[in-house]
């Protein structure tokens, strides 16, 4: 079993998807990796953004792809106590190169720029270890573009309420939202040698329920959480 921090390790004074949240997660023993969502800006820079930041910038029908990086950098994504700015993919990769933990990058739909988006991501990550970085998307077009790259990076598919059909795509791994867990036979995928990641496991009681239900395959599962502090009972984790 691996614990993946969605957006890094968040605390009262450390905001999600920030340099501090990444470094905190990477230096926390029981965290095995970090998951980040990637977007392409108007000036073709790749950035990592949390859902709250995306909602703020797109509340007036804007899209991230219509906003230049310099404008995004003016926004404080940290806290009042500890201000932080948005981080780019290049900054993320520079931080990760000093650690032996996994990095899961979810590419968000960029519409007509999807092909360019994949090209730019691949150029950025190719110098880094392919066993450290995994790529995924909920968007089938982006998934197909990533697969077509024929790189050594593992490519996965994201399953949410609106994209349950993605279960039937042949991917290296499957990122499944917790509310959909009962809809699929995840043992079928693990028996095929696929990786299954369970997302939105944000409370210890939910973690324990998942463990009880899937004890036979629990060792192979990835647990993705945006609240690592809620499941940091080292005694329970070590026992599982």
Domains of the chain: 2-239 (3.20.20.190)
pTM of the full predicted structure?
0.93
pLDDT tens-digit profile of 92-103? 999 999 899 999
| Most confident listed range (53-62, 72-81, 211-220) | 211-220
Q: 16 falls in which pLDDT band (50, 70, 90)?
A: confident
Place of tokens 């790749």: 46
Q: 164 falls in which pLDDT band (50, 70, 90)?
A: very high
pLDDT tens-digit profile of 32-72? 999 999 999 999 999 999 888 888 888 775 788 889 999 98
């Amino acid at each position: 079993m691996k614990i993946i921090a969605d957006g890094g390790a968040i605390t009262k004074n450390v905001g999600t998807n920030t340099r501090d949240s990444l470094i905190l997660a990477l230096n926390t023993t029981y965290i095995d990796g970090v998951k980040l969502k990637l977007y392409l800006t108007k000036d073709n820079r790749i950035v990592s953004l949390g859902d709250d930041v995306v909602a703020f910038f797109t509340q007036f029908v804007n899209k991230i792809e219509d906003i230049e990086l310099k404008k995004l950098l003016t926004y404080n994504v940290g806290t009042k106590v500890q201000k932080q700015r948005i981080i780019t993919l290049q900054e993320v990769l520079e931080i990760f190169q000093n650690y032996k933990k996994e990095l899961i990058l979810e590419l968000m739909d960029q519409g007509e720029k999807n092909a360019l988006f994949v090209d730019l991501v691949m150029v950025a990550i190719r110098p880094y270890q392919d066993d450290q970085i995994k790529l995924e998307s909920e968007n089938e077009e982006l998934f197909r573009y990533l697969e077509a790259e024929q790189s050594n990076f593992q490519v996965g598919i994201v399953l949410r309420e609106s994209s349950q059909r993605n279960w039937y795509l042949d991917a290296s791994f499957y990122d499944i939202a917790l509310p959909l867990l009962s809809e699929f036979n995840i043992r079928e995928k693990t028996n095929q040698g696929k990786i299954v990641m369970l997302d939105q496991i944000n409370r210890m009681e939910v973690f324990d329920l998942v463990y009880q239900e899937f004890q036979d395959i629990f060792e192979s599962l990835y647990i993705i959480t945006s609240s690592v502090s809620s499941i940091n009972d080292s005694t329970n984790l070590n026992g599982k």
